[in-house]
Amino acid sequence: MAENRRVKLTKKMMKDAVLELLEHKSLEKITVTDICERADVNRSTFYAYYESIGQLLFEIENDVLNQLPVPPDLPKDYSDEKFLDMLEEFFDYVRENERLFRILIIQRDSSEFNHRLVNAVMDKYRMPVGEGGSLPARYAYVYCVNGVIGILKEWIHDKFPLSSRAFAGIVLQMSYRAISG
């Protein structure tokens, strides 16, 4: 069943409230009352949509992951330029959603969200690996994507000192080195 505008607005207010609170305190110290006061909703309204704060946060994470730009499938004869364009689009998305990524992967540093992000990126941005690689492809992908998340944290933390394109070039170069051994 599609949510009506009022429900969407109420959920957005609660999501915004929990994000604002996460900027100042850890998840463990946030209460439903804190969220309700910040969002100007009743506790019964919160519980009408969510069983817990964790469920609300999970929905926020899902929103982020579901909105990752989806590249077209790479043809067998993909070019570095096409892959660079895909990475640039992903990093533009991160830039446009800086607050969310700052909270979710830097401030919270949730291994669960990072794992979900790794899997989402692997599913949507699969880079062909040559047959001659010394590692099984899955391990190479996991290694590269986790490395990208690590340097992505630094890029966000440093307030994006490089353009999305320049950062994509660095990521591409490092990924090739990791995969080719």
CB 41, CB 14: distance < 8 Å: yes
- 95 and 149 assigned to the same domain: yes
pLDDT at 74: 55
Asked if residue 115 and residue 91 are part of one domain, the reply reads yes
Per-residue model confidence (pLDDT) at position 113: 84
Nearest to 120 by CA among 90, 150, 158, 165: 90
Is residue 38 located within the same domain as residue 99? no
Please tell me whether residues 25 and 59 are part of one structural domain: yes
Residues 73 and 81: beta-carbon distance below 8 Å: no
For 20, 47, 49, the CA distances from 44, given in Å and listed in that order, are 21, 5, 9
pLDDT at 132 over 80: no
Residue type, 27: L
Angle between helices 5-22 and 32-39 (to 10 degrees): 120
Encode pLDDT of 140-162 as tens digits: 777 887 888 889 999 999 999 99
Beta-strand runs (E) in the chain: none
The one-character DSSP state at 77 is T
Q: Identify whether residues 49 and 93 lie together within a single domain.
A: no
Q: In CATH, what number is assigned to the domain containing residue 130?
A: 1.10.357
CATH at 45: 1.10.357.10
pLDDT digits (tens, 9 = 90+) for 77-107: 667 888 888 889 999 999 999 999 999 888 7
Question: Given the structure tokens 């926020």, which residue do they identify?
Answer: 60
The domain of 29 spans 5-63
Q: Which amino acid is at 34?
A: D
Shared domain check, 98 and 48: no
- The answer to whether residue 181 scores a pLDDT higher than 70 is no
Residues 2-30: pLDDT tens digits? 679 999 999 999 999 999 999 999 999 99
Q: What is the pLDDT of residues 41-91, one digit of tens each?
A: 999 999 999 999 999 999 999 999 999 887 666 555 667 888 888 889 999
Note whether 56 and 86 are same-domain residues.
no
Residues 43 and 119 in one domain: no
Task: Give me the pLDDT at residue 106, please.
Answer: 85
Same domain for 33 and 114? no
Is 61 in contact with 120 (CB distance < 8 Å)?
Answer: no
Number of domains in the chain: 2
The answer to whether residues 172 and 84 belong to one domain is yes
For residue 162, count other CB atoms closer than 10 A to its CB: 13
